[in-house]
Amino acid sequence: MKREAKIHRKTRETEITGWLLIEGSGQATITTQIAFLNHLLENFAFHGRFDLNLQARGDLDVDQHHLLEDCGLVLGQLLRGAAEKLKGINRAGFFVMPMDEALAIVAVDISGRPYLQYELKTKRRFCGLLDTDVLEDFFQGLARGLMGNVVIKVTAGRSDHHKLEAVFKALGRALRYALACNPREADIIKDSWPSLKGVLDL
């Protein structure tokens, strides 16, 4: 079974078209007007082994906030939509990713309760042309679209490039595990995904 989703979202601030296949090979075609964001999302897809196509345009003459937040929202919606009813998935996952001198920790729980814990400090405002001041908005949008708890912590690093790249690699690998089908979970929970409640309210 192919778990995939497609979304087209248009507002007065952004227009985004996305497609995602969970059981992919890590192939990505990303165009977001911000080259370094493209690079980060390509790393996310590669390490998650998701096939991802994301075309996004926004009102960058105003700020990067709208574009980043909506890209995160659409990515979360794609992941959740591709997983359908989420029956039989692991639900939670984490990964610790070193990248040279940097270390990133990412954990996710697709719990139906969106929440972001974010501890990432950069030395400079811009990494390439990406405004790191609004990167948190991307992950807020992701948590909302995914309807899950997202934890991001960077505990070491000299290079902002390495810190951010480590986060997106770890995010891909954490979600790769969380969204993986687990026959034991499917046997325990017939109509939803792993919880003592038997079902999680959305």
Encode pLDDT of 64-103 as tens digits.
999 999 999 999 999 999 997 777 899 999 999 999 999 9
Phi, psi angles (nearest 5°) of residue 147 = 55, 50
pTM of the shown model: 0.92
- The residue ranges of every structural domain in the chain are 4-188
What's the Cα-to-Cα distance from 148 to each of 132, 162, 202, rounded to whole Å?
23, 26, 10
Tell me: the pLDDT tens digits for 107-116? Answer: 999 999 999 9
The CATH class given to the 4-188 domain equals alpha beta
